[in-house]
Amino acid sequence: MANDNKVKQHIPKELRYSMRDFQNEFPNDSACLEYIKNQRWPEGIAPCAKCKCDRKHHRVGNRTAYACDHCGNHIYPLAGTIFEKTSTSLRLWFYAMYLMGSTRCGISAKQVQRETGVTYKTAWRMFKQIRSLLSDGDLQLEGPTVEVDETYFGGVRKFQRGRPMRGDKKKTPIVAIVQRGGKVVARAVPDTTGKRLRKLIRKHVTPGSVIYTDEYYGYFRVSQMQDRLGRRMHYKHFTVKHSDGIYVRDGHIHTNSVEGFWSLVKRGIGGVYHSVSPEYLQTYLDEYTFRYNRRHKGNQQFKAILERASLPAA
């Protein structure tokens, strides 16, 4: 009977990373600092500016510095990272990243404040710094099938439904491009004109891909698109007419994948963050796309965030 009541894990064993694992690997600030040092300089072997060659370095007392074992010159693992000059415990930083990587819909700064005892201002600043690392940049979606859709985020327009009119100041347009079974790109944009949408598609979608959209007029010329040299990009474009209540056509023409991503973003922002200003909206989108693009990594998403945070900004 005991085996029958055992909770089944849907995450494969190699992708699990529990709170117990976190506590065992990072019990204190020293363990966190050592991890960052090994990310930058494995085994503490780093270029020494004075010796002009690679040397073994050892930690200097309780400081965040490591000294060359030959000449004593110091190196600083936190230099250039989001942790540089921080007065907040490194372990709290790591814990915040663990929470961000272990949740599907996000974690609020208020929740971190309640759990750790830091001020709300400190928790908000930490998350702001962490989100600044999560952009996947000019990610190229390899296809062969992608879905494109746009939505609008922001204030409520009284007595109006559907897409905002051009010049609307209440809503911020967002465009997402999802590779079926693969990754997603999401961008906050000034508008959703055909020119803007085609520019995003040209930038992120491989030529020759099959593109699925709704009937929005901004997508009408997708199949005729050319690259910057005037060559046809050979996109195959199919639409589904949502205004007629049609959501799937011929079994494969739909935008359900990108609609699922929008549902995740809207539930997360509305339920966890409640309100996001247009100024920071893109960083929140980066957070959701980062997790979505690594959804098959289970709880190892934390390590993916930590790898970026451990290295200095380019």
Can you name the residues that pair with 248 across neighbouring β-strands? 254
| Within-domain flag for 120 | no
Region 140-167: mean pLDDT is 76
Range of the domain at 217: 145-297
Q: Which residues contact 169 (CB under 8 A, 6 or more apart)?
A: none
SS3 call for 239 = strand
| Within-domain flag for 90 | no
pLDDT value for 105: 83
| Within-domain flag for 6 | no
| Within-domain flag for 13 | no
The confidence band for 78, taking pLDDT boundaries of 50, 70 and 90, is very high
CA-CA-CA-CA dihedral for 41, 46, 49, 52, to nearest 10: -150
| Within-domain flag for 257 | yes
The confidence band for 245, taking pLDDT boundaries of 50, 70 and 90, is confident
Amino acid at 183: K
How many structural domains is the chain composed of? 1
Rounded CA-CA distance 290/139 in Å is 11
- pTM across the whole model: 0.88
Rounded CA-CA distance 73/67 in Å is 5
> CA nearest 106: which of 131, 88, 82, 89?
131
CB burial of residue 13 (10 Å; 0-12, 13-18, 19+):
exposed
> CA nearest 177: which of 234, 215, 208, 138?
138
Length of the chain: 314
| Within-domain flag for 194 | yes
**pLDDT at residue 2 greater than cutoff 50:** no
Residue 180: CATH number of its domain: 3.30.420.10
**pLDDT at residue 136 greater than cutoff 50:** yes
Residue with tokens 């099959």: 210
Region of residue 167 (left: phi > 0; alpha: psi -120 to 50; beta: else): left
Q: H-helix or E-strand containing 66?
A: strand 66-68
pLDDT value for 162: 57
pLDDT value for 155: 64
Q: How many CB atoms lie within 10 A of CB 19?
A: 12
The confidence band for 180, taking pLDDT boundaries of 50, 70 and 90, is very high
Q: What percent of the chain has pLDDT over 90?
A: 69
> What are residue 18's phi and psi, to 5 degrees?
-90, 175
| Within-domain flag for 89 | no
